[in-house]
Amino acid sequence: MSASDKAGYVYRNGVEIGRAPVGKLGRLRGTHAYSALATVEANGQRDWLSVTSVGGRTPNLKELAGRMDVDPEFLANMRALITPGTSLILTDMPVNANTHSGSGFSVLTAEGPENRG
């Protein structure tokens, strides 16, 4: 999600597969990465692990989800795609060629030092 663009983007393997306007993100500062956990609450909200935050305080995702304004159909479709390990990036930067990572980019991998060549 980009506070600058006021939009949520969904990418699969570096290819955009969805986009929707997102309102009421508030004063999001910096860039924050999360990884989806396996637990999902009865209301559909997933638990997320904060992986890294740069340039601002880590947002409270449950509070943010309670105030943001996004198309319910888009939100339902997006939630259906999320599996454990899915990355969520919140940023105050715009999404463009200078800030978009290409295919094959990973925020996290399970690869340990013993698996590196």
> What's the pTM?
0.80
Residue 107 lies in a domain: no
Dist CA 92 CA 25 (whole Å): 10
Residue 66 lies in a domain: yes
Residue 115 lies in a domain: no
Residue 46 lies in a domain: yes
Could you give the number of structural domains in the chain?
1
- pLDDT score for 114: 54
* Tens-level pLDDT at each residue, the chain (117 residues): 999 999 999 988 888 999 999 999 888 899 999 999 999 888 878 999 999 999 989 999 989 988 999 999 999 999 899 999 999 999 999 988 766 555 555 555 555 555 544
- pLDDT score for 26: 81
Expressed as residue numbers, the domain containing 35 is: 7-96
- pLDDT score for 91: 94
Spatial CA neighbour of 49 closest among 60, 32, 62, 35: 35
- pLDDT score for 20: 97
Residue 65 lies in a domain: yes
Kindly state the tokens that stand for 69: 């304004």
- pLDDT score for 44: 77
Kindly state the tokens that stand for 23: 């309102």
- pLDDT score for 30: 95
- pLDDT score for 21: 97
